C-alpha cells in the first residue's frame, strides 16, 4: 500500500487507486462532471449567440429578432436544466465514492489490527490506532470529494480553449497565461503545506492518545487528585494541535485567494486585449463577451483543481500513516491442519522454546524472555507455573493461546505445531483468562457468550448457568432480579475485582475448551472461593463423558494452597525451567522453589491475618454503636 516516488507520482497513484477501487461510481461521477463542463461552455456559447442574434438586433429595432426572444429563452432554459442535473449527479456519485473509499481504508485497518500480534499493539498507543481509523482515513480520502469535479471539467477547459482560439488567437493567449501562474503557485504551496499538514496529523493522534489515557485512568486520576495535571497535559497537546491547524489555515488562506483571483485577473487582461482587437475590427463585441464569459467560467475548473491541490498534501500524509499500519509486518501466519474433535484435554509440548523481543525506553535492544524451554504437559493434567517476577510466566502461557509465536523452537498441541493450525483452531480449543479482565457494557449473558441472545451456535442459557456455577458466580447472578439479563456497567464498574475475574473464567468455560490457561486469573478472588473454583474444575474433568472431561489446565499461581492442587508444578526462573514435578517433591529437592513457596505462604498468611483483624475491628465498632 505504501506510495513511492516523487510527490507528483505519489499523488497520481493515490488518486488512481481510489478511483480504481470503485470504477463504476467514479465513471458516473466524472461523466456527470464532464456534462456539467460541457453545459457550462454551452451557456457561454448560448449567451454569445443570444447577444449577437437576438439581443443586439432587438435593441436596434429588428422585429424578427424580437420574435426570437422566446427561442433564446428556451435554449438557455434547457441548458440550465441540464446543468443543474449534472451538478446533482456529480455530487451524489462523488459522495458515494468518497464514503466507499473511507470504508475501504477503515476495513483494511481493522482487519490488520486483528491480524497483528499483541506485541505490535503494545508498541502502538490505542489513541494513535483510533486516530488512524478516524482522522487519517478522512484525510487520506478528502481529495476524492473534488477529484471527479476536477477531472470532469477538463472537458470544459479543453472546449473553452478551442472556442477561445476559434474566436481569436490573441484572446486565447491572453486567457491561457493564468495556467503557468497556477502551476508556480501550487509548487510553492506544496512546499509549505506538506510539513504543516504532517505535523497537524501527528498531533491529532497525540491528542487522541492523551485523551484515551486520561479516560482509561479516570479512577487513578480521581483517587490521587491529579485532575489539574491531566487538564494541563491535555491543554498543552491540544494547544500544539491548535497551533499546527492555524499554520495549515494560514498557508491555505494565502493559496486559496490566489487561485480564486487568477481568473478575475485573466478576465481583465482578456477585456483589455478584446477592446484593442474590437477597435481594429478583428472581433465583434459578442466575441469579446463570449471570451470574457468563457474565462469567467474557467474560474470553476480552476477552483476545482485548487481544491484537489489543496487536499493532496493532507491526503498523502493520511494515506502514508494508514499504509504504515496496513503494510506492517509481524502478523501471524496460519496453516491448514486441524485438531481432532475430542472431549479430552489437549496434550502440550514445548521444544526448545525461546522468545526474544525488541525493547525501547530505559534498556533499548533485544531482551530474552524465554530460552531453551522443554516441557511436556499430558492431556487432562493440571499444571501450576510458579516463579519470581520477571521469570517469563506470562510469556510462557500466552504462547499457548498463540498471542505471539516463539522466536525459537516450537509448541505442539496434540502433536501438531501451533503454527501449522488453521485460523480459528486455537481459539476453538484453547481459552486464556488473564489477571486483567475486560467487561463490556452489556448483560451478563452477552459478556459470557460474546454473542447475540439466541444467535445460531451461541451457548444456551443452561450452559451459561453451568459456567457461572463452576466460576462460583451463579449465586450472585441469581440474586439479581434480571438474572442473566442483568446489565453490567462500563468495564464492569458495578462488579468487584473478584467478580470480574470469575466472570472471565465463566466466559472461558462456557466454550468448553480442551485447554484452559489461567494467567493469575484468580488474584482478586477470595482464597476460599479460588479453592472451590479449582476443585470444581478438577471434579468436572474427572467425570467421564462430562462437557469438558479431561480438560488440561495450566495456571500461573501465587497461592501455595492452589499450587498444591496441581498435578505438576513448573518452577520457572530467568526465562528457563528450573525444575518440574509434584509440589511435595519440589519442596524437598529445589531450594529456590522452597524459598519461593515459603515467601508465598508467609504473604498469604499475612493477608489473611490482616483481613481477620479488619473483620474483628468492624465487629468491635458495631458493638460500640
Say if residue 545's pLDDT is above 70: no
544: cell is 467421564
392 and 322 within one domain: no
Residue 327 CB neighbours (<10 A)? 10
**C-alpha to C-alpha distance for 79 and 50, rounded to whole angstroms:** 13
Domain stops at, among 294, 326, 358: 326
Helix, strand and coil percent figures for the chain, each rounded to 5: 65, 10, 25
Between 241 and 170, where is the model more confident? Answer: 241
- 572-597 burial by CB neighbour count: b if 16+ within 10 A, else e? bbebbbbebbebeebbeebeebeebb
Q: What is the pLDDT of residue 625?
A: 47
| Predicted local confidence at residue 22, as pLDDT | 92
Same domain, 34 and 120: yes
Q: Would you say how long the chain is, in residues? A: 625
* Lowest-pLDDT choice from 226-230, 321-325, 442-446, 578-582: 226-230
pLDDT of amino acid 126: 77
The pair phi, psi for residue 547, each rounded to 5°, is: -60, -35
Alpha-carbon gap, residue 150 to 306, rounded angstroms: 9
Q: Considering the chain, what percentage of its residues have pLDDT values greater than 90? A: 11
124: containing domain: 7-326
Q: Locate 37 and state its grid cell.
A: 463542463
Q: Give the model's confidence band at 179: pLDDT under 50 very low, under 70 low, under 90 confident, else very high.
A: confident
- Which residues does 434 contact at the CB level (< 8 Å), separation at least 6? 394, 504, 519, 520, 521
More confident residue, 574 or 180: 574
Does residue 191 lie in a domain region? yes
Q: What does the alpha-carbon distance between residue 193 and residue 251 come to, in Å, rounded to a whole number?
A: 6
Are residues 74 and 199 both part of a single domain?
A: yes
- Bridge partners for 571 per DSSP: 386, 579
Burial class of residue 457 (count of CB atoms within 10 Å of its CB; 0-12, 13-18, 19+): exposed
Cell 501438531 belongs to 416
Residue 393 scores a pLDDT above 70 = yes
Check which CATH number belongs to the domain holding 429 and give it: 3.40.50.300
Does 525 reside within a domain?
yes
Of the two residues 503 and 549, the one the predictor is more confident about is: 503
For 392, list phi and psi in degrees, rounded to 5: 105, 15
CA–CA separation, 149 vs 306, rounded Å?
A: 11
Lowest mean pLDDT among 284-298, 508-522, 532-546: 532-546
> Model-level pTM greater than 0.75?
no
Q: Are residues 393 and 302 in the same domain?
A: no
> Which residues touch 114 (CB under 8 Å, ≥6 apart)?
none
Rg from Cα positions in the chain: 36
Domains in the chain, number: 2
First CA to last CA distance, the chain: 72
**Grid coordinates in use for 480?**
439479581
- Contact predicate 295/175, CB 8 Å: yes
Please check whether residue 341 lies inside any domain of the structure.
no
Q: Which three cell numbers stand for residue 221?
A: 486520576
What's the confidence (pLDDT) of residue 502? Answer: 86
For residues 398 and 389, give the distance between their C-alpha atoms in angstroms, rounded to a whole number: 16
Q: Inform me whether the pLDDT recorded for 180 exceeds 80.
A: no
**Environment class of residue 148 by beta-carbon count within 10 Å: exposed (0-12), middle (13-18) or buried (19+)?**
buried
- When pLDDT is cut at 50, 70 and 90, the band that residue 25 belongs to is very high
Query: Taking 90 as the threshold, does the pLDDT of residue 571 lie above it?
Result: yes
Indicate whether 213 pLDDT > 60. yes
pLDDT, tens only, 251-269: 878 887 777 777 777 777 7
- Over pLDDT 70: what percentage of the chain? 88
CB 241 within 8 A of CB 200: yes
Q: Is residue 603 part of a domain?
A: no
- The pLDDT mean for the chain works out to 80
Choose from 274-288, 380-394, 487-501 the range with maximum mean pLDDT: 380-394
pLDDT in tens, 95-142: 899 999 999 999 999 988 888 877 777 778 777 788 888 888 888 898
Residue 77: what pLDDT? 76
Mean pLDDT of 74-93: 82
| 239 and 378 part of one domain | no
The string of pLDDT tens digits covering residues 428-440 is 889 888 888 888 8
Q: Enter the C-alpha cell of residue 44.
A: 457561454
Confidence of residue 214 (pLDDT cuts 50, 70, 90): confident
What pLDDT, on the 0 to 100 scale, is given for residue 132?
A: 86
- The DSSP result for 328-358, as a single string, is ---PPP--SB-PPP-SSPPPEEEEEEEEEEE
* One domain, residues 321 and 364: no
Residue pair 100/22 in contact by the 8 Å Cβ criterion: yes
> Which pLDDT band, with edges at 50, 70 and 90, does 603 fall under?
low
Note whether 318 and 370 are same-domain residues: no
Instruction: Mark whether 279 and 365 lie in a shared domain.
Output: no
Q: What is the mean pLDDT of residues 175-197?
A: 75
pLDDT at site 135: 82
Question: d(Cα 75, Cα 53) in Å, to the nearest integer?
Answer: 13
- Both 356 and 298 in one domain: the answer is no
Do 248 and 102 belong together in one domain?
yes
Q: Please write the tens of the pLDDT for every residue from 49-76.
A: 777 676 667 767 676 666 677 777 777 7
- State how far the alpha carbon of 165 is from the alpha carbons of 48, 116, 269, in Å: 15, 59, 16
Nearest to 345 by CA among 129, 135, 516: 516
Rounded to an integer, what distance in angstroms lies between the CA atom of residue 468 and that of residue 476?
A: 9
Amino acid at each position: 500500500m505504501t506510495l513511492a516516488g516523487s510527490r507528483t507520482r505519489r499523488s497520481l497513484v493515490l488518486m488512481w487507486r481510489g478511483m480504481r477501487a470503485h470504477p463504476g461510481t467514479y465513471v458516473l461521477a466524472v461523466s456527470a462532471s464532464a456534462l456539467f463542463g460541457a453545459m457550462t461552455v454551452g451557456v457561454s456559447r448560448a449567451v454569445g449567440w443570444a447577444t449577437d442574434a437576438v439581443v443586439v438586433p432587438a435593441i436596434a429595432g429588428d422585429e424578427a429578432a424580437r420574435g426570437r426572444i422566446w427561442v433564446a429563452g428556451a435554449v438557455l432554459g434547457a441548458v440550465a436544466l441540464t446543468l443543474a442535473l449534472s451538478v446533482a449527479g456529480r455530487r451524489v456519485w462523488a459522495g458515494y465514492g468518497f464514503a466507499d473509499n473511507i470504508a475501504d481504508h477503515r476495513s483494511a485497518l481493522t482487519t490488520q489490527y486483528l491480524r497483528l500480534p499483541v506485541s505490535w499493539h503494545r508498541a502502538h498507543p490505542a489513541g494513535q490506532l483510533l486516530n488512524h481509523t478516524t482522522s487519517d482515513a478522512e484525510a487520506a480520502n478528502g481529495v476524492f470529494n473534488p477529484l471527479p469535479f476536477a477531472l470532469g471539467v477538463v472537458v470544459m477547459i479543453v472546449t473553452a480553449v478551442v472556442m477561445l482560439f476559434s474566436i481569436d488567437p490573441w484572446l486565447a493567449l491572453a486567457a491561457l497565461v493564468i495556467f503557468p501562474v497556477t502551476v508556480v503557485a501550487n509548487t510553492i504551496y506544496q512546499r509549505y503545506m506538506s510539513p504543516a499538514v504532517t505535523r497537524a496529523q501527528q498531533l491529532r493522534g497525540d491528542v487522541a492518545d492523551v485523551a484515551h489515557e486520561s479516560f482509561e485512568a479516570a479512577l487513578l486520576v480521581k483517587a490521587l487528585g491529579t485532575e489539574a495535571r491531566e487538564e494541563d497535559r491535555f491543554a498543552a497537546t491540544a494547544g500544539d494541535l491548535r497551533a499546527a491547524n492555524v499554520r495549515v489555515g494560514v498557508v491555505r488562506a494565502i493559496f486559496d485567494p490566489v487561485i480564486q483571483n487568477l481568473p478575475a485577473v485573466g478576465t481583465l487582461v482578456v477585456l483589455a486585449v478584446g477592446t484593442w482587437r474590437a477597435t481594429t475590427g478583428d472581433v465583434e463585441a459578442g466575441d469579446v463577451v463570449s471570451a470574457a464569459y468563457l474565462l469567467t467560467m474557467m474560474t470553476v475548473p480552476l477552483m476545482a483543481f485548487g481544491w484537489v491541490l489543496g487536499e493532496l498534501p493532507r491526503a498523502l500524509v493520511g494515506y502514508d500513516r494508514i499504509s504504515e499500519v496496513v503494510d506492517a509486518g509481524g502478523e501471524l501466519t496460519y496453516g491448514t491442519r486441524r485438531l481432532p474433535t475430542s472431549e479430552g484435554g489437549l496434550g502440550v509440548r514445548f521444544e526448545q522454546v525461546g522468545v526474544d523481543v525488541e525493547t525501547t525506553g530505559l534498556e533499548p535492544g533485544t531482551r530474552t524472555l524465554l530460552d531453551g524451554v522443554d516441557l511436556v504437559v499430558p492431556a487432562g493434567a493440571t499444571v501450576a507455573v510458579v516463579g519470581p517476577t520477571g521469570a517469563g510466566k506470562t510469556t510462557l502461557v500466552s504462547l499457548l493461546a498463540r498471542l505471539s509465536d516463539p522466536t525459537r523452537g516450537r509448541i505442539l498441541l496434540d502433536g501438531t505445531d501451533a503454527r501449522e493450525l488453521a485460523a480459528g483452531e486455537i481459539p476453538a480449543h484453547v481459552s486464556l483468562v488473564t489477571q486483567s479482565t475486560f467487561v463490556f457494557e452489556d448483560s451478563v449473558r452477552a459478556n459470557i457468550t460474546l454473542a447475540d441472545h439466541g444467535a445460531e451456535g451461541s451457548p444456551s442459557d443452561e450452559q451459561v448457568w453451568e459456567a457461572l456455577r463452576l466460576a462460583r458466580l451463579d449465586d450472585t447472578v441469581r440474586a439479581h432480579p434480571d438474572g442473566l439479563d442483568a446489565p453490567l456497567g462500563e468495564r464492569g464498574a458495578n462488579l468487584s475485582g473478584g467478580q470480574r475475574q470469575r466472570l472471565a473464567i465463566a466466559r472461558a468455560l462456557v466454550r468448553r475448551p480442551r485447554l484452559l490457561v489461567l494467567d493469575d486469573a484468580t488474584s482478586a478472588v477470595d482464597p476460599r472461593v479460588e479453592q472451590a473454583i479449582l476443585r470444581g474444575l478438577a471434579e468436572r474433568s474427572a467425570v467421564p463423558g462430562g462437557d469438558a472431561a479431561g480438560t488440561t489446565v495450566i495456571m500461573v499461581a501465587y497461592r501455595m494452597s492452589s499450587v498444591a492442587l496441581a498435578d505438576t508444578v513448573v518452577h520457572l526462573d530467568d526465562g528457563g525451567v528450573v525444575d518440574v514435578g509434584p509440589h511435595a517433591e519440589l519442596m524437598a529437592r529445589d531450594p529456590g522453589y522452597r524459598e519461593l513457596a515459603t515467601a508465598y505462604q508467609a504473604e498469604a498468611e499475612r493477608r489473611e491475618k490482616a483481613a481477620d483483624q479488619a473483620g474483628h475491628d468492624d465487629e468491635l465498632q458495631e458493638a460500640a454503636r
